[in-house]
A and B are shown apart, each in its own frame.
Chain A
Amino acid sequence: MAVVRLRAPLSELAGGRSEFELEGASVGEVLLALEREHPDVKGWILDEHGRIREHVNVFVNRECSSEDTALAPTDRLQVIPAISGG
């Protein structure tokens, strides 16, 4: 299972935890599994069409990924706000 790490405020929405082990063959599948386990996260990382929001980065190990990026069981995901804003 892939390991997903979250920062605040996402970790607060996910029951106060910052690390999760989740099943999924792709980044999108793992993030949907996170939403199923913690419904309050729904709509925060993925938009209503299941795409990673424009200003959110999901890193797989050291590489920025898309929702279609395939995962190996040992991969580590980090969800981090992009360097943007105003």
Chain B
Amino acid sequence: MTEVLVGTKKGLFTLNGATGKPYEIAARAFAGDSVEFAIRDPRSGRYLAAVTSGFYGPKVFVTDDPTSEWEQAQGLELPDGTEQTLKRIWTIQPGEVDGLLYAGGDPGVLFESRDGGLTWELNRALWEQPTRPDWNPGAGGMCLHSIATWPDDPSKLALGISAVGVWLSDDAGESWRNGNKGLVARYMPEESREDTITLCVHNLHRHLRRPERLFMQFHGGVYRSDDAGESWIDIGTDSGLPSDFGFPMVIDPSDPESAYVIPLVADLDRVTPEGRVRVYETRDAGGSWTARGDGLPAENAYLTILRQAFGRSGSGETMELYFGATSGDVFGSGDAGATWFTASSHLPPVHSVRVA
């Protein structure tokens, strides 16, 4: 039995099932509210959900049972001295110390919790970056959406912010520096690309078994870093992808050569190419990509899969993969993408998918 947390425009859906057949909806929480992201912290078993009420603002809620009551977390707010307000929490990521969690949000902010997600504090070093007045948002806002920890080393962190590039820390977030070398912002004039900080990272993942390796989905570009995010290598051009534009990304933690992406046509046409839904997999660190679409809609299917709407559990040949679309469909695979099935249909637009 697998439990999948699906954050949607109208609530959080907890799906239960076994691969190969439609899943049942075990619970719906936060009815009417936008759920941007939800995970289960595997260390504590606690569930955390980032919820944005259209009226009452962004909140994080926690529970030990997603079919029961949720408790509101505290401390997710911006400090005095700014006109800005917290708009949304985009991601929640367990840290490398017991009880430590990170949350990333809009406007390009990082929060830290040391009690398993009940209370949070703003990371001041990122908030007080001297370049912050020059930061620009992407279409979805100025979202800090990716937080890559380093296994067993809490001092090392990598962040992805749209559209403010990659940020690296070697002192547990006490200080930050950029890691943008090699990224090409094709959406900027050529003469501005070299020194722009408007770098629209769409997704960022670190490999657990080879932590100096990261993969990135960029706003037009797929990249790999072999030096812990200091510099980036183009792996999206002439390597078998129908497009290098997209949002979600997953890696197989057992294979440092692996990554999965779901390409969309382009920034001006954010749907699956050729009316076909296909996941693309590399097993040679981006040297080549192979389409994985057996069981996915193969015609007249113009789906949009958002940044956080692709999750996994396990690893290797039996790794389970799940992704959801703004169409309200959720697809799953029990064999690392070789074959797919429809796990759920007719949900609200899907924002996030994570396996509990």
Contacts and interface: CB of A to CB of B under 8 A. Distances in A.
Interface string B85-103: 1100000000000000000
A54 B77 CA distance: 16
Contacts of A9: 56
B57 interface: yes
A53 B56 contact: yes
Contacts of A37: none
A55 B55 contact: yes
Contact of A86 (B54, B77, B85, B86): B54
A70 interface: no
Contact of B80 (A45, A49, A85, A86): A49
A20 B54 CA distance: 25
Given A43-B77, A49-B80, A56 B55 contact: yes
Chain B interface main SS type? loop
Interface residues of A, number: 18
Interface string A70-86: 00000000000110111
Nearest to B72: A40
Nearest to A80: B55
A45 B80 CA distance: 17
B80 A56 contact: no
A47 B54 contact: no
A48 B85 contact: yes
B173 to A, nearest CB: 21
B206 interface: no
B77 A45 contact: no
A63 B59 CA distance: 29
19 contacts: A9-B56, A10-B56, A43-B56, A43-B57, A43-B77, A47-B85, A48-B85, A48-B86, A49-B78, A49-B82, A53-B55, A55-B54, A55-B55, A56-B56, A81-B54, A82-B55, A84-B55, A86-B9, A86-B54
Interface of B: 9, 54-57, 59, 72, 77-80, 82-83, 85-86
